[in-house]
Structure 1
Amino acid sequence: MSTRTAPHLAKPELVTTTEETKDDFFAAIARGFHDTYDAEVWGPARDLFEPERNFGHRVDDRWVSSCGAYTREMATPGGSVPVAAVTVVTVAPGYRRRGLLTDMMRHQLTVDVMDRGVEPLALLWASESLIYGRFGYGRTTSLLSISGKTREMAFLPGVDLGDGSVDEVSVEEYLAAAPEARDRFFADRPGALARTEAWWKGMVHDPEAWRRGASARRFLLHFAADGTPDGFASFRTKWTDDGGEVMINDLDAATPQAYARLWRFLLDLDLIRVFRLGHAPTDEPLRQLVADQRAIKTELHDASYARLTDIPRSLAARKYTGDLDVVLDVADSFLPEVAGRFRVQAGPEGADVTRTDATADVALTVRDLATIYLGGTPLNTLQRAGLIDEHTPGSVQAISHAFSWPRAPFCPDDF
């Protein structure tokens, strides 16, 4: 007779992971994403793991759900903010429709985020985009996947490639130079996450099981005229029936010239006929560099989702394009303690946000506020969709202007 408790009779218990249970926890995560756990392949994930921030439901000494978070720092318009980077959310098929996900979301946002008091918001990538809106998450960044035939990627005649150069380097040389280069321009991209040494090692981790017939990951550095590294890229190559393909994983630079030259290096690789970049910002400069913009195939995707748990701290962690003085009535059906009316006095130097009993100028949900948080979606877009109630004429437009930012938000890091 089986000693396993039938799912409909089980009473799942919410438990925090420990060093002793983390391998079983990883195995449950792998099953949840239809994969097989291999400790060697998961090496960097094990190094980044924070047991006290990971938990799930257990039945018969096995995990039937999982949820966790990493401690990260995210760039905001003109500043930065600590974020709980939510990850590894799974529920075993036999235990769905039991409220386990809701239980984990509430525990994470209240106990792991709000009670800790470190981060005023959480961030995640949604494998299923319909799931997380009901928990107050709003899509705060988008991304593009772009591709094209390299022979059709000639640049406009006036493109300046600068006086530097690009060279392929070893992973050791890459890790010695790329983090410092990125730190110099990290703050310029709202939505980007700071990378510790452990995160950089995770970015270059390259087990053969992940290559799917492609080459090992290769690395580039751009060197400024004085020889200082000021840009980087990583990529793979793959042979298809149509010829060689270059798949770009990570590309960024401190100057337009370095950025253009990195792209030119990749597009001019011998024997390569197609390029692909799965994670590009919505303001990707390559689309402006090429002479024939139609030659680039572009698809828009949702990217990171944010959930504000401390509205005053979240709004105070960024700067604003123009002066603003409004009262927001923020509804939150999942965490009513987060909801309320807030006076937002903001400007180019920051914001002062306080709870108030004053009459609201605009009514919106915490999900709406997360959507506009980094400036990627204007509030007037949500108003045109019928999602926003404007009580004081002109308030929506004033908020849309103040929350906007010169550079589109983008999160290049999966987690």
Structure 2
Amino acid sequence: MSTTTTEELSATTLLRFATAGSVDDGKSTLVGRLLHDSKSVLTDQLEAVERASASRGQEGPDLALLTDGLRAEREQGITIDVAYRYFATPRRRFILADTPGHVQYTRNMVTGASTAELTIILVDARNGVVEQTRRHAAIAALLRVPHAVLAVNKMDLVGYEESVFGAIAEEFTAYATELGVPEVTAIPISALNGDNVVEPSAHMDWYGGPTVLEHLETVPVSHDLAHCHARLPVQYVIRPQSAEHPDYRGYAGQIAAGTFRVGEQITVLPSGRSTKISGIDLLGKPVDVAWTTQSVTLLLQDDIDISRGDLIVPSKDAPPTTQDIEATVCHVADQPLTVGHRVLLKHGTRTVKAIVKDIPSRLTLDDLSLHPHPGQLVANDIGRVKVRTAEPLPVDSYADSRRTGSFILIDPSDGTTLTAGMVGESFASPEPVRDEAEDDGWDF
């Protein structure tokens, strides 16, 4: 294990990152190698992996088993669910999401990358950029993950040839640039042998860039959300029945972004009622200021009607409320999403009824062209949707806030998550046509 001290950890920054790539590209092996070579694996964990590997007839430890913990994952040799791992070096702390590569589990990649600041997209050097590589790059772009690493894996199987790496890096970088990915760092690796994962490779002296760990430790990240639009989705209304605090009424939740201060004028949405913050409780103690991502209870000067699902914002910085939402979505359910589909829309802590009014376009991953008005989205499709909600919602642009600019669509019959949406995000838009669901008789 690393001997990082508490004092050193307190001075380091936190990086959330996710892995992505096609089946058998070596994501779990890369993660296992990263944990093993950075000495972030407990002795008993490594011993368990060695025993499991020996029982399968393998000569050495299969480091992929450090993240593939489900029985089905071990039996099939593929990652099925998102595996989160926490580790640290003296320079930085990490939260890692190892996501599945199989097209069937693209929905899990959306989950893992939704909070990431960096995505590692693996490519098998023998196969190059494939459809699933493009899909994962598109999702990373839609989710506005600010940093992307292209890890060209299995370089040992192509003789560590620089030309192979260069061609793949050039193709992927051009594609990612079209998507709007702001930064791509390409690194040639062999996760199985450890080349350029933690230590520089002796087989690729033509490469002068950082190893994977070195890049993870040094890539600039910013967690300064204190100056973003302040947003507090109300999760609970707290009214303790006690003689000590007979009139206590607080509104609790996790601050999604920004900063709240005692005395500040706030507005409650969607009602639009305004008042001032009279107190802020944090971990049972009063404070004058609270910021993202603290979980707090706000006390207000006036007794106004507030319930779970409402959004508390500064009066001078309130987002518009609307019943018509247009967004880019990734459809994650097996059942198609169709025009006229009745759904539930969950935004923050609020869930409302909604109708899919139109599907203006679907993205074609090969050439990033748009197929206009496809009529439906099927599993793993990326497209544009227009949704009409039964009640007005205060929504931000996803570009301004990943928390309050996102939503999910839910099947009201069984609670299945259908679609993940990013408000206002778009690659491009086809010419508008008549809303096909405009005259369907619905009254919202």
What TM-score, normalized to structure 2? 0.29
**Bigger fraction of residues in helix:** 1
Relative CO higher for 1 or 2, CA cutoff 8 Å, sep ≥ 6? Answer: 1
What TM-score, normalized to structure 1? 0.30
